[in-house]
Structure 1
Amino acid sequence: MWISKSWAVSLCCLSSFVSATILQNGQVRVTDYPNTVTEASSHNWRTYPANAAELSYKGRWDDDHISWWSVPGLKFGFTGKEVAITFGPHTSNGVLVAYRINGEDWQFSNITTNATHLLISPSTEGVDLTSPISPSTFELRVTNWAYGVQVKSVHVAAGASLIKLKDYNRRIEVIGDSLSSGMYGTYEGLSSYAYGLAAGLGDTEYSVTAYPGICVTDQECWGNPRGQTYQWYRTSDTGGRATNIYGTNPPLWDFSKHPAADIVVINLGTNDNNTANNVTNEDYYNSYIELVEGVHNVWPKAQIIISALWNGFGKSGNTYIQGPAFVTEIWDVYKHFNSASYLSSQHTCPPRNPLKWWLPPCKPGRPNAPFVHYFNTTGILQHNDIGPLWHPTDVGYIKVASHLMQYINLKFGWELRATGPEVFHDTLYWNDQDSY
């Protein structure tokens, strides 16, 4: 990003120089995305129902194929040169989705409730690079954390077919709040560090169960009626959309029907730390312990990374300093799960708490090796990586994602498998004019 000016103008005269055209790769960022709505009856398509075996739903979707949480997705292979999707009544009208074929850049469209959208056609860039009888890959992601789509059916050209794609062999789950869901990023979920981490690693399945304002402690926080020690076990998030559909009894997420995560990243506590929510340090610590125990019980082989919080920056004299938040408590959670007494103890299941009936059955036994790891965020972000609304800028999210990628690479030996297709969209800023 740059501001057009003449270097011949002296510094003393800059105040009278009013030309300030901001160029971003020589163009204005596009926000009026193409209208992809089409009349289904005017096409001769082969149609698949939303529960077709060839469709792979990414993230959390309910039994009615309604998407929840951050960056939920849909992925499948297809032959031919057309893909259309009919969206149902529980689609948020106007929600922005990103979609692409193979390794092409993300395309975007605002989705209309109860409408069919033609997303891939013979004029789509790159579609001619694949033989009509060879499968292409189609992927769709919902960008916003508060809105979602409902898939009713998927269409391909007459004589074409959908193809089930094989899942990648490694999985990441991110559990968080607004910092993980990408709040105030350009494309929200698709600009978040959580998405950037998983997509940046490449060849990795991922789910982001994060929602703005939520606490780890199970109480009301910023309009969220429950905390992650309760909501993580649910299919839906805590938003008003979920309340309108489910009321106060959202469905449980059936972990047994989905592959286990290999790595779980937890970034929670910014909302607990706000005095408006009246969470004590002790309640936060105990809730964090409870959540980690619950995740380990569901996925006993998963490695769990707990993240230190970045809590914004404040002016101090003639510089800036990063604000602390639950520094001792998060470190104490790490120490608890890495203590010799914890790792060597013979764990027996406590009596089942009838007030927490949603928790999966406890599994006795302890690992004899640490499974909780501490990711220190200190020094990654600077004050200008935080936007005016207290959340990272696009660049800030990218920095956190990049550091986490390297942490996982060094800690667990995960290769960086991304091969070239873009991860973050609209972040390639450069000056391509030589006379300004």
Structure 2
Amino acid sequence: MKVIITAIAFLMPIFSSSALSASTSNATSDSGLVIKNNDPRIHFNGRWDESPGTWWASSGLKLHVQNLKSLSLNLGPHTTVPLASVGVSLNYGEITTVNVSQGVNGIFRESAALQVGTSEGDLSVVRLNVEGWQDNRINLESISLNSDATLLSYVPSKLAFQFIGDSLSAGQFLPEGVDQAWTFLTGEHFKAEHNINAQPGAALSDIVSFGNEHGVSFQFFRTEDTGYFDTTDHNFTTPWNFSRDQPPATHVVIHIGANDAAQNVTDAAFVQVYSNFLVRLRTIYTHQPIFVFTPWGWPNADGTISQYYQGQYQIIVDQRHSIGDDQVFLVNTTGWVTFEDVFPANQHPTVAGHQKITRLFTQWLQKWGLDPELEWATPA
């Protein structure tokens, strides 16, 4: 079971991130070993702006530490008020929810699931990510470790998934958000790195949809998620530099279209915007396999399933094949999700429903030819 902890936040002077970025030299102080936010040994994943602050569910960081006994996050003013929920995993174990806020947040103080530093010289891997598709901003100023700890470099997995989607991929309505979604769980199954750019309510078409100012065909190429216009620090978007995705994605997975259908985007228009999106993706992911999900639809209590864009995803894939791109694959998810797998009030998959989708997709991928890594690349 996942433990939810409210981290202890202490008031402290907040220093500008530009000042912190001036030097990567770290110092030992009364608060321990202080790691600057631009230390190259911090492995950032997902979308971080220059402050640095997180956008999009699942964005986070990974640390490899020798002799880890304590860890605190020192967070700046762009952190969500009153708090942001982050998932923390120690040594690839279960994920524990920790609620953090501006100031100093002790991560390893209260949780039985996060026990560290049992033997001198032990190696530890700490993975941390924001869970929510909203209220998910953490503004990292520095990290404090115990004074006798040593920060090492994190070696990422050879496999790296890029997931693209909407609420059905972002973990909306789940207690622990994206960390219980099929996207995140698929990455974990394969012992892979994974970035998840999925925004509830957003269409693929660049239109206003359920509070989103832009569609994913626009927003995916931006640093910010579609909630940018409600944040306190800025109300604009900045291009994302895909060279910052390290390692680059080895596999791209797309599940999208529900909100286009809800906004009455026609079949022809949807096929066109999806095809154009794939053309643009191929400028970034020039050869990587791209997996196009068909909808599993909206299950009803009477056993029927409401579908949308039936047959159109096959057309999209066939068009790519017709121009010689044989690395685009259709994943037929028909029958994967029934009414028993969703919340009756909103027809989104439950925790068990996401676990079922994970099982079916990982089986599909292994039949396709992708096997999980035997072990994580960074030892713990």
TM superposition score normalised by structure 2: 0.87
Aligned amino acid, residue 216 of structure 1: L
Of 266, 281, 299, which residue of structure 1 is paired with 2:285? 299
**Alignment map for 1:209-248 (pairs within 5 Å):** 209-240=197-228, 244-248=232-236
Task: State the Cα distance separating 1:37 from its structure 2 match.
Answer: 2.5
- Whether the 8 Å CA contact 1:92–1:148 is kept in 2: the answer is yes
Match of 1:195 in 2: 184
Match of 2:273 in 1: 287
**Alignment map for 1:80-119 (pairs within 5 Å):** 80=67, 81-93=69-81, 94-113=83-102, 115-119=103-107
Secondary structure of 1:180 counterpart: helix
The CA distance in 1 between the partners of 2:8 and 2:374, in whole Å, is 32
**Alignment map for 1:274-353 (pairs within 5 Å):** 274=262, 277-315=263-301, 319-339=302-322, 342-343=323-324
Equivalenced residue count is 355
- Structure 1 or 2, whichever has the larger Rg, is 1
Uncovered stretches (5+) of structure 1, i.e. residues with no partner: 1-24, 344-366, 420-436
- Whether the 8 Å CA contact 2:228–2:235 is kept in 1: the answer is no
Match of 1:376 in 2: 332
- Whether the 8 Å CA contact 2:108–2:115 is kept in 1: the answer is no
Aligned amino acid, residue 268 of structure 1: I
Task: State the Cα distance separating 1:117 from its structure 2 match.
Answer: 0.9
The CA distance in 2 between the partners of 1:123 and 1:335, in whole Å, is 51
Q: Does residue 51 of the first structure (1) align with residue 42 of the second (2)? A: no
The CA distance in 1 between the partners of 2:372 and 2:127, in whole Å, is 23
For residues 128 and 411 of structure 1, do their structure 2 counterparts lie closer, same or farther at Cα, with a shift above 3 Å needed? same
**Alignment map for 1:421-436 (pairs within 5 Å):** none
Task: State the Cα distance separating 1:44 from its structure 2 match.
Answer: 3.2
The CA distance in 1 between the partners of 2:216 and 2:49, in whole Å, is 18
The CA distance in 1 between the partners of 2:312 and 2:89, in whole Å, is 42
For residues 118 and 132 of structure 1, do their structure 2 counterparts lie closer, same or farther at Cα, with a shift above 3 Å needed? farther
Match of 1:393 in 2: 350
Aligned amino acid, residue 107 of structure 1: T
The CA distance in 2 between the partners of 1:399 and 1:393, in whole Å, is 10
Task: State the Cα distance separating 1:278 from its structure 2 match.
Answer: 3.3
Match of 2:62 in 1: 75
Task: State the Cα distance separating 1:67 from its structure 2 match.
Answer: 0.7
Task: Return structure 1 stretches of 4+ with deviation > 3 angstroms.
Answer: 38-44, 121-126, 240-246, 416-419
Aligned amino acid, residue 373 of structure 1: F
Secondary structure of 2:129 counterpart: strand
The CA distance in 2 between the partners of 1:164 and 1:407, in whole Å, is 33
Q: Does residue 263 of the first structure (1) align with residue 251 of the second (2)? A: yes
Aligned amino acid, residue 144 of structure 1: G
Task: State the Cα distance separating 1:121 from its structure 2 match.
Answer: 5.0
The CA distance in 1 between the partners of 2:293 and 2:186, in whole Å, is 13
Task: State the Cα distance separating 1:78 from its structure 2 match.
Answer: 1.5
Task: State the Cα distance separating 1:116 from its structure 2 match.
Answer: 0.5
Aligned amino acid, residue 342 of structure 2: I
The CA distance in 2 between the partners of 1:40 and 1:169, in whole Å, is 40
Task: State the Cα distance separating 1:40 from its structure 2 match.
Answer: 7.1
The CA distance in 1 between the partners of 2:231 and 2:146, in whole Å, is 37
Secondary structure of 1:107 counterpart: strand
Secondary structure of 1:153 counterpart: strand
- Whether the 8 Å CA contact 1:409–1:416 is kept in 2: the answer is no
The CA distance in 1 between the partners of 2:242 and 2:315, in whole Å, is 28
- Whether the 8 Å CA contact 1:135–1:163 is kept in 2: the answer is no
Task: State the Cα distance separating 1:72 from its structure 2 match.
Answer: 1.1
Aligned amino acid, residue 334 of structure 2: T
Task: State the Cα distance separating 1:38 from its structure 2 match.
Answer: 4.5
Of 148, 168, 189, which residue of structure 1 is paired with 2:157? 168
The CA distance in 2 between the partners of 1:161 and 1:60, in whole Å, is 26
Task: State the Cα distance separating 1:273 from its structure 2 match.
Answer: 0.6
TM superposition score normalised by structure 1: 0.76
The CA distance in 1 between the partners of 2:253 and 2:333, in whole Å, is 13
Q: What do residues 259-309 of structure 1 show as CA deviations (whole Å, max 9, x unaligned)?
A: 3211100011000011xx232222111010011111112111210000011
Uncovered stretches (5+) of structure 2, i.e. residues with no partner: 14-28
- Tell me the percent identity: 23
Q: What do residues 74-102 of structure 1 show as CA deviations (whole Å, max 9, x unaligned)?
A: 10112331111101111112111121321
- Whether the 8 Å CA contact 1:66–1:148 is kept in 2: the answer is yes
Q: What do residues 96-153 of structure 1 show as CA deviations (whole Å, max 9, x unaligned)?
A: 112132143322221122x111112598654144x33333111111111112211110
The CA distance in 2 between the partners of 1:105 and 1:377, in whole Å, is 28
RMSD of the TM alignment (CA)? Answer: 2.3
The CA distance in 2 between the partners of 1:241 and 1:86, in whole Å, is 25
Task: State the Cα distance separating 1:48 from its structure 2 match.
Answer: 1.2
Secondary structure of 1:409 counterpart: helix
Match of 2:116 in 1: 127
